[in-house]
Chains A and B, each alone.
Chain A
């Protein structure tokens, strides 16, 4: 299966899902008409995309979806989101910044520490002092 076929299939499936869910998520027929018409069109175009013939080409601008690095970054962003909600921005940033750098392959711990301190200080200066919007 080519990438476009998978994309087309996913788009069509999404259209089907929304088409059947919409009546349960709206107050009136008029309110649900637009999403239902759009989801019908989405099904049609999803199928058309899936039918599109595509040459299997290997480009240099592509990565594997189950790339460990990619998954690590996603987990890191998710973890940071949870941390921000639970403990606030500054503790989360202090963990996110060095973790990002280490994942990227940076091993100079002095630079990492210095960068984390300077960036966190700058954020405090810009957001809390200059804009007056205290981060939680």
Chain B
């Protein structure tokens, strides 16, 4: 406990600099703005910002990304509540009750519930992270390369099988990511491999052009083409929006304010959402959308008025937002203690850590304890900033979400190209962005999930390194992975999870055909 306190104090010393606080606040504001624009997700926001963090000191850079992630997470709920257009995938659940409340002229109330539930659940989940990170890291120090490799395999399997398009294609996508990770230098000898004689390829593919190509350029082009197709539907949406009688909204200030008794009514939903979201968040790959959905369902089941859900229940909004945001803290536990990102946002943050010369993993907590605790405290500051700027922002938001998309998309494309360049000041990497944009478009068209691909790409070198270290130590005897208990348990889990998921999928298909 004393060690924890002294680390917290040392972390505070590092944190209390204008640059860090300004970066965290700037990240939150940028996240709120980008999350609130439908079509620009938290992932696009992080991808665009990662290259710029290279110019900040490590704490400020990571603080900016953490703030961005938090801001965008809440920002996604704003268009979901106001226009029934979720800004981020996880905000879909918030729209169930948020939009009906807007139609009743209570948009302000819905936004406040979402904001408070987000910040409270996020704050508690950060506390969970702080208290669990040290014990998990202590346990992680004791594991060897065989166990580490097995844990990475288990995490990759979990991330892959939870893909929307199915477990088999998720696993195939993960393998494609592993294959891409083997391009460049051999992780053990450093010799060039699969570089096809190219100097640029011999050091491997940089994560920034890859992420920008996959998740920004291809996404923007896809959205532009989709928007053209959906123009007719947009007109329909606009009509629906017009059905909200502005006079209802202006009628009473009471409709927009949140009373203490209403807030008290939301507390059980927030508590339940925090518990469910935190448990889900600690497992790699499950994701915030599942956290939000399970929390919503559990709150509906426990409610005395389940019939109100879907018609504008404030408990519904609180549950969805709490479930979604509570995933954030525990999601960083595997990243910080084992170097395994739990989701795509964490994977991109890992990329930023690496760019700053920091390697999260079992030894990170021991070697960089003050820095790590500074980052933990940044999470609380970011929560406070989200609350502060969230209150201000919700008042201006209607104008922001109605900004013309074509201008936003064009500017994002330009920033993606600049972001690719400024990491290494190398214009050749623009070709990588272009190639990965094409691959991204093909993946979208071919229903190939890209999240397992990118996470496998990030973890591929360390997985190979650990496997080869283990085999070197044990005279190339593969049975060592099964004779070590921890390794055997994780590999068995991986096999069981794959077999069970495929069996369940086949069974549900068989019942559907009957």
What residues make up the interface of A, taking CB atoms closer than 8 Å to B? 3-4, 6-8, 10-11, 14-15, 18, 21-22, 25-28, 30-32, 34-35, 38-39, 41-42, 45-46, 48-49, 52-53, 60-63, 65, 67, 69-70, 73-74, 77-78, 80-81, 84-85, 89, 93, 96-97, 100-101, 103-106, 115, 119, 123, 127, 131-133, 135-136
Residues of A within 8 A of B230 (CB): 60
Whether the Cβ atoms of B182 and A35 lie closer than 8 Å is yes
Q: Assuming A31-B193, A35-B193, A63-B229, is B417 touching A11 (CB within 8 A)? A: no
A83 vs chain B, min Cβ distance (A): 10
B230 vs chain A, min Cβ distance (A): 7
Whether the Cβ atoms of A77 and B168 lie closer than 8 Å is no
Nearest-CB residue, chain A, relative to B448: A7
Whether the Cβ atoms of A7 and B176 lie closer than 8 Å is no
Whether the Cβ atoms of A84 and B407 lie closer than 8 Å is no
Whether the Cβ atoms of B431 and A81 lie closer than 8 Å is yes
Q: B301 near A: Cβ within 8 Å?
A: no
Residues of A within 8 A of B55 (CB): 131-133
Residues 146-181 of B, flagged 1 when their CB comes within 8 A of A and 0 if not, give: 000000000000000000011011011001101100
Nearest-CB residue, chain A, relative to B405: A104
Residues of B within 8 A of A132 (CB): 55
Q: Which candidate, B8-16, B59-67, B137-145, B422-430, is the interface stretch facing chain A?
A: B422-430
Known: A30-B468, A52-B169, A73-B224. 7 other contacts (CB 8 A): A27-B191, A35-B182, A70-B441, A100-B409, A104-B224, A131-B52, A131-B422
Nearest-CB residue, chain B, relative to A46: B172
Nearest-CB residue, chain A, relative to B172: A45
CA distance A30 to B467 in the complex (A): 11
Whether the Cβ atoms of B221 and A81 lie closer than 8 Å is no
Q: B414 near A: Cβ within 8 Å?
A: yes
What residues make up the interface of B, taking CB atoms closer than 8 Å to A? 52, 55, 165-166, 168-169, 171-172, 175-176, 178-179, 182, 186, 188-189, 191-196, 217, 221-222, 224-226, 228-230, 233, 404, 406-407, 409-411, 413-415, 417-418, 421-422, 425, 427-428, 430-431, 433-434, 437-438, 441-442, 445-448, 464, 467-468, 509
Whether the Cβ atoms of B194 and A101 lie closer than 8 Å is no
Residues of B within 8 A of A38 (CB): 175, 178-179, 182
Tell which of B52, B224, B418, B430 touches A81, judged by Cβ atoms closer than 8 Å.
Answer: B430
Q: Assuming A85-B430, A89-B418, is B193 touching A74 (CB within 8 A)? A: no
Residues of A within 8 A of B422 (CB): 127, 131, 133, 135
By DSSP majority rule, is chain B's interface helix, strand, loop, or mixed?
A: helix
A119 vs chain B, min Cβ distance (A): 6
- Interchain residue pairs A-B with the least CB separation, the first 8: A7-B446, A104-B406, A45-B172, A100-B410, A35-B182, A81-B430, A27-B191, A63-B225
